Amino acid sequence: MAYSEPLILLVDDSQVSIDFLKDILRNYRLLTAKDGMEALRLAGSEPRPDLILLDVVMPGIDGYETCRRLKQMPNCAGVPIIFLTAQTGAEHIIKGFEAGAVDYIPKPYNIPELLARVKNQLTLKLARDQNINLMQKIESINRQIVAGIRYARKIQKASLPQQAYMEKILPEHFIFFQPKEIVSGDFYWVGKVGEHLVVIVADSTGHGVPGAFMSMYGLALLNQIVGAQQISCPATILDNLREQVIASFNQTQLSEIKDGMDISVVSIHPKSKTLQFAGAFNPMYLISDSELKVISADSMPISIGVKDRPYKNNVLSYKAGECLYLVTDGFASQFGGIFDKKIKSSGLKKLMLEYSQLPIREQKDAFASYFEEWKAGGEQTDDVLLMGLRL
Ligand SMILES: [Mg+2]
């Protein structure tokens, strides 16, 4: 859009006055109208004026009425209007402002003052137009970015285990999965390795797009390590995963990028009713005889860390009907409640003890409702993923 030559509409019933103004404003592009109706017609068609200088006393509709009507036209509402008037009493000036004018120029004209007022209003109009343009550009760029991320969500969703497959291989279960943004850093993986059911819940560093990149990579590595190589031992899965993340991102103690994931891996052997568990920061929770057991994870991330000893493989037996939970840190770190505090893992453990009594299908709603009530319309702190299984 060319801003170099603003267009001014001059409205005056006196030809002498019009000629005089045309001479003073010769450096601008000009349109002229002899009365209010012609002004309305010109202002409503292309090219649109950037400023309107409007005489007050005219035959037909006067300047005030013309101004009011111009302000009601959708395309003219933003065009500044300056009154040209010999009536400079306060009541006339106020009437002009009430009709929608931004300024007035007293007659007889003081030429430098007239030029200064015109220039002033055109500068403001230009700044407003630029703001509108910038807003439109930002909105358009934002729409494109959001559309891209929304499409990425479809890809991410398709990469996660499909519902039908999970129904087939897992015992009764639920997944409460609620990303903070459109795409998620939290993810899960399930698969069968011989007689073992491998269930994994993970939390990539960060959330949103960077978290989602890492989660896609994590899913690919798990497909390789557990799916293709058929490794069922949780600690070995984690050892392999850590090695490959460090190698793939060339991570050293000095690297800028030390991203990775926190993760919990369970391998269930239904025949012997035994479980194996290994974790990087994220523990496993088991409700047994109305008591909560926390099987701790190692405090070593799946990325370059200060310690790099092998992960601990925990083995325990379970009884049919017990509830097992795997969770990322998002649920416990949600702010809210009466004192705007975190739910904390102590709060989450209480919920697990209480809700484990419910049928598994009802547990998801129970956890989700609690979470939403706690958040109470506030901002979600992190991606949330909570998986529950009835063994
Ligand atoms: Mg998290």
pTM: 0.79
DSSP β-bridge partners for residue 175: 387
Round to whole Å and give the CA distance between 277 and 285.
10
The 10s digit of each residue's pLDDT in 313-329 is 999 999 999 999 999 99
Where do runs of H (alpha helix) occur along 44-84?
63-72
* Beta strand residue intervals within the chain, DSSP E: 7-11, 29-33, 51-55, 81-85, 103-106, 173-178, 186-193, 196-204, 261-269, 274-280, 284-288, 291-295, 314-317, 323-327, 335-336, 341-342, 384-390
Round to whole Å and give the CA distance between 310 and 239.
6
pLDDT for position 306: 76
Residue 204 CA, ligand 1 centroid: distance in Å: 7
Residue 330 CA, ligand 1 centroid: distance in Å: 5
What average pLDDT does the structure give for the chain?
93
Query: What count of other Cβ atoms lies within 10 Å of the Cβ of residue 144?
Result: 10
Residue 363 CA, ligand 1 centroid: distance in Å: 21
Residue 329 CA, ligand 1 centroid: distance in Å: 5
Residue 134 CA, ligand 1 centroid: distance in Å: 35
Tokens of 273: 């009713």
DSSP β-bridge partners for residue 245: none
Residue 6 CA, ligand 1 centroid: distance in Å: 54
Tokens of 41: 């017609």
Residue 147 CA, ligand 1 centroid: distance in Å: 24
Residue 280 CA, ligand 1 centroid: distance in Å: 13
Q: Determine the angle formed by the axes of helices 208-222 and 111-159, rounding to 10 degrees.
A: 20
Alpha-carbon distance values, 351 to 197, 238, 339, 348, 386 (Å): 26, 28, 19, 5, 12
The 10s digit of each residue's pLDDT in 74-129 is 888 899 999 999 888 899 999 999 999 999 999 899 999 999 999 999 999 999 99
Domains of the chain: residue spans and CATH? 7-133 (3.40.50.2300), 160-390 (3.60.40.10)
Checking if the pLDDT of 4 tops 70, the result is no
Kindly report which listed range (52-61, 214-223, 244-253) carries the lowest average pLDDT score: 244-253
The 10s digit of each residue's pLDDT in 87-98 is 888 999 999 999
Q: Is the dihedral of CA 121, 127, 131, 136 positive or negative?
A: positive
Residue 237 CA, ligand 1 centroid: distance in Å: 21
As to burial, measured by CB atoms within 10 angstroms (0-12 exposed, 13-18 middle, 19+ buried), residue 49 is buried
Confidence of residue 16 (pLDDT cuts 50, 70, 90): very high
Residue 387 CA, ligand 1 centroid: distance in Å: 14
